[in-house]
Chain A
Amino acid sequence: MKAPRVGIIGIGQSVFTRRRDDASYPDLVREAVVLAMTQCGLDFDAIDGTVYSLSPDAMVGIGNAERLGVDAVGGRYKPFLRINTGGATGISSVAAAYYHVASGACDVVLTAGADKVGECGDSQTVLNKIWDPIYERPLPQGTITMLAMSGVRYQQKYGMTQEDMARVVVKNRYHASLNSNAHLRKEVTVEDVMASRHISWPIKLMDCCPQSSGGGAMVLASEAFIKANKLDAVWITGVGHCSETYYLGDRMGKGQLADHADAYALSKSIRRSYQMAGITNPQKEIDVAELYAPFSNTEFHSIEAAGLAEIGTAVPQLNEGRYTIGGDIPVNPSGGTLCTNAIAVTAMIRVAEVALQVWGKAGAHQVKGAQRGVASGNGGDHQFFGTMIVES
C-alpha cells in the first residue's frame, strides 16, 4: 500500500544560544510555535493534535516538563503525546506527527519542544545517568566517552586521524557561520581544533557540540488539507526507525552483529526511509543531508550509514570537499548538531533544515537546487535512530 502524502507547512526555530535568560522554558517552546504557526498562516483551532518533543527531563531540570509545556503548544482539549527517544526525540516527534496524519486520525498536527541545556551545569552528569546503575554507570560511561570509544574503533578500522576529525569541525563551523540560527558561528581552523584541550581522547573541546537553549516547531498536514486550503508545502516521502541493543560491549569482540565503529542500526533506518521514498542510489538522488553528529568523528560513520560514501571511505571524500556547501552532497549545511545542540529539538531541526533546503528557504546556507534530502537523529546508548526523506 502506498502511504498517503504528508506535507510540512510550517517551521519555527529559535536563534540558538547557550542561555536564554529572557525566556522561561514554556516561553521558549511558544517562541518556536508562533514562528511555525505564522509561516503556515493557520489558527490554533486548525490544529487537530500535538506531539511534544522532550528528551531527558533532568536536562531542563523540570520533571515531565511537557506538563508545563502543554499550553505553549495550545494543547488544551486536544490529543497530546510526549515523545522521548533521547537525542532522536525530535525526529521521533516529527515521525509521530507524520503517523497521526498518514493514518487519517488528524488533518493537521503540531509538533514542538524546547531545551535549555545551558541551564544545566552538569549535562554529562545527567547523561551518565542514562546508563544502567550496575555495570556501566559507575565506569563512568557518558555520551562523550561512548562516542569517543566509537572514534577509537573507527580510527583503528579505517585510519581516521585527529586532523580528519578537525576538518569536520572546520566545515561545520563554516556552514554555521552562514546560518543565523546556529549557536557556534565562529569559523575555526584545523590548528584551532588541534590546539583545543582533550576532553575524552580522541575528542577535544572543539570536536564537541555546545550546550544550547532554544525551541523548535513544525506543522504537518494531509495532502487533502494542503490542496483544499491552497497551502505551500514540502513533502515527507520516507520515514524510518531502527533500534540497537543496549550493551555497548556487544558491538565489539567476537561475532558482533554491529561494530561500534560504525552506525549499523542507523544504516538500517536510513535504508527503510530510502525504500519508502523509492531511492535506490542515494549518492545520485540525495541533494542535501542533515545527519545527527554531536561529535566530529561521528559524522563520518553517519555519512557512510546514509550511503553517501561506502563504509570506511567518508574521510577522504570529506577532505576533498564533497560534503561542503558547493560540493556534491552538502552534509549539515546548517552547521549541524556539532554547532547547535538543544537536545530535545536537535533531531527535529535536522528535518526542519532539510525541509528549508528543499523549499529553497535556507537563506545564506542554501544548497543550490536542492530537491530531495535526508535527515537523521540518534538517541540513547547510540541505540535509537530515526530518519526521514523530505522532497520539494
Chain B
Amino acid sequence: MELLQRKEIWNITYTHALGETASWFFVQLRDNKKLYGRRDAKSGRVLVPPRAFSDQTLEPTTEWVEVGPGGQIETFTIVYEAFQNLPPPPYAFGFVMLDGADTAIGGFFRGLDLSDPEKAAEKLSVGTRVMTTFAEERIGDISDFWFELD
C-alpha cells in the first residue's frame, strides 16, 4: 500500500540568561581580554569555566582567579561531517587546561591545516601547549576566544 509521510521543521527561539557567574566571566573576556576561573575555597581548586558552586565539595565558589592565556590540550576532535545548524566542517575543538586552572575549558583550535586528518591530529595531541587568541570584535560569548598552537 502507499505509505505517506509528513515533514515538519522546528524553529524555536530562546533567550537564555547567563546568570551572575558566567556574565562576569564574559564581560571580562569581552572588555579586557582576560579569562578567569572561580576558586572553591574548601578544595582550593580553580574551576574553569567558572561556576557558582563546586560539584565536588558542593560549596559556593568564593574568589575570581585569572587563568591563561597559555595552556595545554587535554583532548580534541576534528569534525569532518556537516550537521544541520552546526558549523561547516572541517573544524577542530577540544578542551584546554589553562595555566592556573584545575579543570579544562572547551574551545576551538584555529590556524591549523585540517585537510589531512592524521597530520592535524598529531599536531593537536594531548599535552600540546596552546595560546589563547582573542577575537577583534568581542560580544561576550564563547566565540570571543580560541586556541592556537604555541
Contact = CB atoms under 8 A, between A and B. Distances in A.
A120 to B, nearest CB: 10
A21 interface: yes
Given A139-B93, A246-B55, A249-B104, A21 B3 contact: yes
A33 B80 CA distance: 40
Given A21-B3, A125-B86, A153-B126, A255 B77 contact: no
A246 B81 CA distance: 26
Contact of B77 (A121, A152, A156, A246): A152
Given A201-B121, A249-B48, A255-B45, A149 B10 contact: no
B106 A202 contact: no
Contacts of B3: 21-22
A122 B83 contact: yes
Nearest to A255: B102
B62 interface: no
Interface string A125-144: 10010000111101111100
Interface stretch (A80-88, A192-200, A344-352): A192-200
A138 B141 contact: yes
A223 B143 CA distance: 57
Interface string A212-231: 00000000000000000000
Interface in B88-147: 93-95, 97, 101-108, 117, 120-121, 125-127, 141-143
Given A122-B84, A201-B80, A134 B22 contact: yes
Contact of B18 (A134, A148, A202, A257): A134
B45 A135 contact: no
Contacts of B47: 247, 250
Contacts, number: 132
A149 B77 CA distance: 6
B102 A253 contact: yes
A384 B24 CA distance: 31
Interface in B1-50: 3, 5, 8, 10, 14, 16, 18, 22, 45, 47-49
Contacts of A256: 103
Contacts of A125: 83-86
A140 B88 CA distance: 11
B117 A252 contact: no
Given A21-B5, A125-B86, A252 B104 contact: yes
Contacts of A249: 48-49, 74, 95, 97, 103-106
Contacts of A202: 121
B125 A140 contact: no
Contacts of B126: 152-153, 156
Nearest to B105: A249
B78 interface: yes
B101 to A, nearest CB: 7
A61 interface: yes
B149 interface: no
Contacts of B84: 121-122, 125
A117 to B, nearest CB: 14
A245 interface: yes
Contacts of A121: 84
A135 B140 CA distance: 11
Interface string A243-270: 0011111101111110010000000000
Task: Give the 9 A-B residue pairs with the shortest CB-CB distance, closest first.
Answer: A249-B104, A252-B74, A148-B77, A253-B97, A122-B84, A21-B3, A149-B75, A201-B78, A245-B55
Interface of B: 3, 5, 8, 10, 14, 16, 18, 22, 45, 47-49, 51, 55-56, 74-81, 83-87, 93-95, 97, 101-108, 117, 120-121, 125-127, 141-143
Given A138-B142, A249-B103, 20 more contacts: A124-B83, A124-B86, A141-B106, A145-B77, A148-B77, A199-B79, A201-B117, A245-B55, A245-B56, A247-B51, A247-B103, A249-B48, A249-B74, A249-B97, A249-B106, A250-B47, A250-B55, A250-B103, A256-B103, A260-B75
